[in-house]
Amino acid sequence: MKTRREFLRVAGFSAAALAGAAAQEIGRPAPQASSRRIRLAVVGGGFGATFHWHEHPNCVVSAVTDLYAVRRQKLREAYRCDSVYDSLEDMLKKRNDLDAVAIFSGAPDHAKHVAMCMQRGLHVISAVPACQSLEEAQQLKELKEKTGLKYMMAESSYYRAGCIYARSLFRQAGFGDLFYSEVEYYHDFPPAQLLADKRSLWYHPDGAKSWRQGLPPMQYPTHSLGYVTGVTGERIASVSCLGWGADHPFYREKKNQYGNPLSNEFALMQTDRGHMVRCNVFWNVVANGEQARWFGEKGSLYMEVPGVSADTWHARKGKPAPKKLPDYLDSAMLPPTMRHASGHGGSAVFITAEFINALIDNREPECNLYDSLAMTVPGIVAHQSALRNGEQLEVPRFDRKS
């Protein structure tokens, strides 16, 4: 592997050199010739039914559960598992042969459900975000350090091709000093006239309002901040946030379960290395998806926006150059049975493989608890800033003390 000085001597940051560097830094390879199989339970038949646990040679889905029958059936069919339970509590009471649990319940329940599983000695992978309050963040940190169990957050932005490429360039010093990032997550909610359709994400199968209705945008920040912590490893030190509320039934007169008036939130953040971040999370917007741009003294990378622009590299010499990213599916971290396209921008197979690989290798996974809290907690503080008209607030850190 080249040193920083050697890498910066590569003439003009050629496409071949950059692609080669990026291809080196995908993740740790899958375990070799291990006969161990992780006995996994999957909680939540919405997003939780979209992963590929049953395709990993070292994993078997041993139990599935959801509160709703239609979602239980979805899990049963997705993972070909007939050990089906009506609730997480029921499953934990009746099963003592599990190794790990995949938590894909609603966002407000993640920290509680993770704690229930770790208190029973089970490793956990959780949907995003890790928690909804600073108190929950502290509880998760204490539980992790008390039990020593493995925790991973299933952050899709971390394994999108543009983020893998940016992370690889950063580790090879391709940006020089990466001083500014723009990170965004856009997820438009349905217009008021379509709310009668209760088959959408904003309702449970029984027609009750789901946790998504009224959720403060910055309480769901990880699809944006994954492009900061997931590229440079930095922590957010301070934040100033502004918000705007749509004239929509979810937010009008704060008539939602969170008492939240804001549908879109915009934050300016500073990292512990003195770098700048502009972070957007919008629920009412004519746009969609996770995207980022990274600006460095040697070069800058614009992540692809589907239907609008390609991944583009900007260097001091020459014109901006659209880039064809490496085929990360041909990665040693993926077992051959999992080298295929998957959901959420291709991230699902990588998330699946990394969690199981880490358990087999007895190591901490990528997007471990400390990184996950670093992607989650700044958003919690940002929303408080927005409610205080943009007051700049310090962001507490929940890293392991050295």
Token pair of 174, please?
């391709």
Give the pLDDT confidence score for residue 309 in this predicted structure: 87
Cis peptide leading into 129, omega within 30 of 0? Answer: yes
Whose tokens are 């901040």? That residue is 225
Rounded distance, CA 31 to CA 56, Å?
Answer: 11
Does position 45 have pLDDT exceeding 70, yes or no?
yes
> Among the listed ranges 11-15, 39-43, 168-172, which one has the minimum average pLDDT value?
11-15
Are 195 and 249 in contact, with CB atoms under 8 Å apart? yes
Cα gap 205→71, rounded to integer Å: 8
Distances (CA, A) of 194 to 30, 191, 216, 256: 45, 6, 21, 18
Distance CA 17, CA 174 (A): 10
Q: pLDDT per residue over 242-282, tens digit each?
A: 999 988 888 887 788 999 999 999 999 999 999 999 999 99
Position 196 scores a pLDDT of 66
Structure tokens at 145: 């350090």
Low-confidence winner among 3-7, 45-49, 68-72, 141-145 (lowest mean pLDDT) = 3-7
pLDDT number for residue 246: 85
Please count the other Cβ atoms lying within 10 Å of the Cβ belonging to residue 49: 19
Whether pLDDT at 24 is above 70: no
CATH class of the 38-156 domain in this structure: alpha beta
Q: What is the DSSP string of 173-206?
A: TTTSSEEEEEEEEEEPPPPGGGTT-TTSTTB-TT
In CATH terms, the fold of domain 157-331+369-394 is Dihydrodipicolinate Reductase; domain 2 (3.30.360)
DSSP reduced 3-state for 44 = coil
What is the DSSP secondary structure assignment for residue 400, as one 8-state letter?
P
**What ranges do the domains of the chain cover?**
38-156, 157-331+369-394
- Model confidence pLDDT, tens digit, residues 151-206: 999 999 999 999 999 999 999 999 999 999 999 999 998 776 566 667 678 888 88
